[in-house]
């Protein structure tokens, strides 16, 4: 029996030596193009670069329309506005997600309702969604979380039965495909984030995609102070709908350029992540009481913000196991945990239908971010770390 590094033993690999992708990615050619755009002065106001990226990204999702915005929180807010969600309405969200999913609901005056997630995919459970529906339910936001996808087939069927709008939160799912069609294109609106750590990153940024022309117009108005896409800056010709409060949530042309460059390399990156995830799954199968988050049931291309490594506390113990692995050189971190328990979620304006799976995963699932899934050379090291921690788990 060896001593775990967290207790002073020698780590399997030295701290800081795990090979990971430099993030966000940079290259000299993109830097030169950014310089050209900067000098052109065409930075915003529905610039040609913004329009080109909107069309390019929407097409990659198999959607007809894209509306580029400042970040992936305001995209959710504008999606709700475009679908007429208002004070007094309820919107069902998963208990396990980043709190922006729920906060966007609060921003439009509606009430988030927390439903449980599936224990295998860590995404919204269709059964829990159905149980959470009330007379006030107007929308649902399934989140495609980390390395999986919510079951769109089941969720859409329930939503259509009850006339409930569907907003796909795809903040983690750039490039993902469900049954051959892009994530974000199945619901009424798909919302994406391009925050610093995402698989497509411009520091901040976001986009909504949709296949409905009216919804696309309302999304654009919601993010551009009420202007129609057909209007010139300062030359509004038609008003937004009465009582639809619009904002200045515009994105920037430089961000659109950076994202367009990254988008071309995304399929190759996701293929690399999928191979890494499959290999990691084979490693953990050698040890009892640990598993990898299941990919989407009908995911033909799985997007990856990361993967969840899920531990059985009866075998691995009830203490926080993340630091144990991190000290050995395998950097896995806490996930978001249940939204309603997050320190920054400082409101009581919600309804909780009970989320035992979200609670369990918040305690016992750890996150391997996508930047740590870039090098297959690390897989043998990970296997050695699992072997060491498992053999010495009595020390945890």
User: What sign has the CA pseudo-torsion 374, 380, 385, 390?
Assistant: positive
Three-state DSSP state, 352: strand
CB 308 within 8 A of CB 146: yes
What residues contact residue 320 under an 8 Å CB cut-off, 6+ apart?
Answer: 334
Question: CA–CA separation, 173 vs 162, rounded Å?
Answer: 26
Q: Could you give the CA distance from residue 85 to residue 358 in angstroms, rounded to a whole number?
A: 26
Determine whether 388 is an active site residue.
Answer: no
Identify the active-site residue in 198, 223, 366, 388.
198
Distance, CA of 268 to CA of 274 (rounded, Å):
10
Select from 339, 338, 199 the least CA-distant residue to 272: 199
Cβ-contact 131, 145 below 8 angstroms: no
Map residue 251 onto helix, strand or coil. Answer: coil
Q: Catalytic residue positions?
A: 198
């Amino acid at each position: 029996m060896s001593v775990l590094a967290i207790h002073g033993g020698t780590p399997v690999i030295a701290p800081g030596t795990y090979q990971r992708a430099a993030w966000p990615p940079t290259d000299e050619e993109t830097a030169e193009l950014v310089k050209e755009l900067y000098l052109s002065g065409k930075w915003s106001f529905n610039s040609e670069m913004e329009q080109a990226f909107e069309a390019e990204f929407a097409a990659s999702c198999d959607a007809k329309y894209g509306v580029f915005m400042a970040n992936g929180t305001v995209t959710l807010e504008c999606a709700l506005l475009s679908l007429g969600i208002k004070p007094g309405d309820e919107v069902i969200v998963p208990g396990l997600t980043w709190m922006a999913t729920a906060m966007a609901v609060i921003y439009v005056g509606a009430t988030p309702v927390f439903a449980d997630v599936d224990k295998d995919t860590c995404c919204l459970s269709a059964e829990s969604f159905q149980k959470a529906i009330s007379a006030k339910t107007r929308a649902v936001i399934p989140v495609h979380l980390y390395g999986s996808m919510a079951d769109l087939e089941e969720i859409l069927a329930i939503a259509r039965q009850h006339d409930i709008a569907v907003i796909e939160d795809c903040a983690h799912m750039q490039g993902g495909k469900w049954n051959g069609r892009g994530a974000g294109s199945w619901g009424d609106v798909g919302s994406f984030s391009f925050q610093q750590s995402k698989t497509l990153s411009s520091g901040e940024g976001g986009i909504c995609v949709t296949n409905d022309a009216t919804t696309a117009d309302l999304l654009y108005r919601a993010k551009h102070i009420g202007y129609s896409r057909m209007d010139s800056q300062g030359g509004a010709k038609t008003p937004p709908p009465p009582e639809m409060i619009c904002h200045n949530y515009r994105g920037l042309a430089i961000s659109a350029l950076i994202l367009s460059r990254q988008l071309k390399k995304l399929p190759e990156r996701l293929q690399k992540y999928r191979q890494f995830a499959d290999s990691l799954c084979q490693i953990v199968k050698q040890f009892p009481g640990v598993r990898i988050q299941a990919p989407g049931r009908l995911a033909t291309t799985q997007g990856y913000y990361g993967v969840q490594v899920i531990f059985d506390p009866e075998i691995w113990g009830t203490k926080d196991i993340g630091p144990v692995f991190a000290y050995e050189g395998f950097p896995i971190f806490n996930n978001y945990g249940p939204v309603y328990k997050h320190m920054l979620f400082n409101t009581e304006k919600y309804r909780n239908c009970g989320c035992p799976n979200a609670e369990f995963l918040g305690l016992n699932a750890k996150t391997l971010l996508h930047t740590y899934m870039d090098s297959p050379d690390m897989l043998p090291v990970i296997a050695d770390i699992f072997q060491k921690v498992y053999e010495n788990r009595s020390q945890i």
